[in-house]
Amino acid sequence: MLILKDNAMKPKIFIDGEHGTTGLQIRERLAKRDDLEILSLAHELRRDDALRAEMLNDCDVAILCLPDDAAREAVSLIGGGGNSRTRIIDTSTAHRTHADWVFGFAEISAGQAKLIANAKRISNPGCYSTGAIALVKPLIDVGIMSSDHPVTINAVSGYTGGGKQLIAQMEDTSRDDHVATSYYLYALGLGHKHVPEIMTRGGLTRRPVFTPAVGRFAQGMLVSIPLHLDTLTGGNTANAIHDALTNHYSGQNIVEVAPLSVGSELSKICPEDYAGLDTMKLYVLGDKDTGHVNLVAQLDNLGKGASGAAVQNLNLVLPTL
């Protein structure tokens, strides 16, 4: 067991699963901070449940960067001893639709940041979900889109979203399972694990058609939702949609809405442009002749889409410890 920083007056933070892709990025974000005490288990001790339980129950905030079953186990290790003090930020899919967990997307609605700040249990959004929910929920909230609207979501992510195995497959050409292609679709059975979260937290009652893809770049993401204006319930103009998004995200500095783009004003949007950033940019792309609109979210799959969002949620929690 290793304690990186030692100061009893500082909040204690334990990243359970710090050696995975998301955990490593969270640790990097926290490494230079002097306002926290970081509890850490050596890589070879990461499966020692007794030590994990000790860390989980000794910390003020536990950030879980684990597969779903392991995340549920970690929660039971905290709650099993009657610990009501330790706050949890879970980056897995395990609790994202659970009614007792606060959804860790501060910009999703007015008052959400306050709910996060005071929550005992926070479920971090998924990367694709962050982009999709950011685009559809404001439109449903103001009545431009109905909750049962037939939504199609197309997205591409950097390969770090697939974790260490996919990173190795992409980067190590000597592997038998090396992935040489530049781009591929996956989850072709239309059952991606982010769909329930997009529906529950985005306000959709009809299951969207979601087609994700992986590109040959490490970090970055685009989430695209095309719309026919004449199928919307009201305010069916590109300007009204843009106004709804602009009004929804005003007064904060994490989610930016780009100026409305009609016709060929904008030539391209690149997923890698937001790599390394913990913010997100939303676009409304219209065509005055066809009545079509394309909504696009641009973010880093490990920034606002994972590690950056976890640190944002941690920063909201810290003043309330």
The residues that are catalytic are 127
CA dihedral sign of residues 51, 57, 60, 62: positive
All residues at 6 or more sequence positions from 176 whose CB lies less than 8 Å from its CB, including other chains: none
Contact by Cβ (8 Å): 182, 124: no
CA dihedral sign of residues 142, 143, 146, 149: negative
Angle 64-69-70 from CA coordinates, rounded to 5°? 40
Amino acid at 47: R
Rounded Cα–Cα distance for residues 278 and 167 (Å):
21
Rounded Cα–Cα distance for residues 127 and 306 (Å):
6
All residues at 6 or more sequence positions from 188 whose CB lies less than 8 Å from its CB, including other chains: none
All residues at 6 or more sequence positions from 120 whose CB lies less than 8 Å from its CB, including other chains: 84, 87, 88
How many C-beta neighbours within 10 Å does residue 57 have?
18
SS3 label, residue 213: strand
